[in-house]
Amino acid sequence: MKSLVVITGASSGFGEEIAKQFAADGYPMLLLGRREEKLAEVAKDMDNVMIDTVDVTDYDQFEKAIRKAEDKYGKTDLLVNNAGLMLLGNVQNQDRKEWQTMLDTNVMGVLNGTQIVLNDMRERHHGTILNMSSLAGKKTFVNHAAYVASKFGVHGLSETIREESAAENVRVMMVAPGAAETELLTHVTSKSALSDYESWKETMGGITLDPVHVAETVKFMYDMPQEVNIREVDIAATRQD
């Protein structure tokens, strides 16, 4: 039996496509998200899959779900910290609750998941944590201040944890995608930020990244031998600036 793969934010977008890649290769999985119906829909034709409704900002809930899956499938060998939110807006008038939600989900959620699996991985000298960052974790975009802050945070924390865990043979990886049309933008409340996004999209011919290609990249990175760590991949539509 292959080792357990845990994917957060598996109810849509990148997470859903990543789950499909690993299911096709026969991995036992734990798929996490807050919407049970969506998770059940993703998992319906997959074997050896558990789903659990977890908010990644709730450490105890998150840990309980992972331990339950580990009781059934063995220790987690891959955690994909993919759950995230992008609430665009200007700092001068954005609701501060949106900043807090993004920082809690995009940063604390990643730290929570990492702590839950890292000790076992270090003890076993085997395991991979892959954090979903963004090109907004490397460069700035207007209307993205708090999101950029969260994703620069993901870059910083991932590289720190990689350095701390390299000697224990644990891999910490990052994927930094460009724009892709998932459910991400559906949570944006600022009409002007959405309209700015649509204008920007036109500059790249309206073509964004297909989430399938992000998922294939994640699978390729994980499939390298444990002794090889593809630390980071930036992937975007060719026309994105």
C-alpha–C-alpha distance, residues 51 and 24, integer Å: 17
Options 44-52, 157-165, 176-184, 196-204: segment touching ligand NDP (CB under 6 A): 176-184
Residue 237 within binding range of ligand NDP, rule CB under 6 A:
no
Structure token pair of residue 198:
């649509």
Rounded Cα gap, residues 109 and 64, in angstroms = 15
Query: Does the protein bind ligand NDP through residue 183 (CB under 6 A)?
Result: yes
> Which H or E run contains 49?
strand 49-53
**Least spacing, CB of residue 151 vs ligand NDP, in Å:** 7
147 in active site: yes
Among 146, 68, 67, residue whose Cα is nearest residue 107 = 146
| Binders of ligand NDP in range 28-47 (CB under 6 A) | 33-35, 38
Give the CA-trace dihedral at 137, 178, 77, 34, to 10 degrees: 90
Find the shortest distance in angstroms from Cβ 134 to ligand NDP.
3
Nearer to ligand NDP, 81 or 128 (CB): 81
Amino acid identity for residue 49 in this structure: V
| Helices and strands in the chain, H and E counts | 8, 7
User: Per CB under 6 A, which of residues 82..101 are in contact with ligand NDP?
Assistant: 82-86
Site residues (vs ligand NDP, CB under 6 A): 8-9, 11-15, 33-35, 38, 54-57, 82-86, 105, 132, 134, 177, 179-180, 182-184
Active site residues: 147
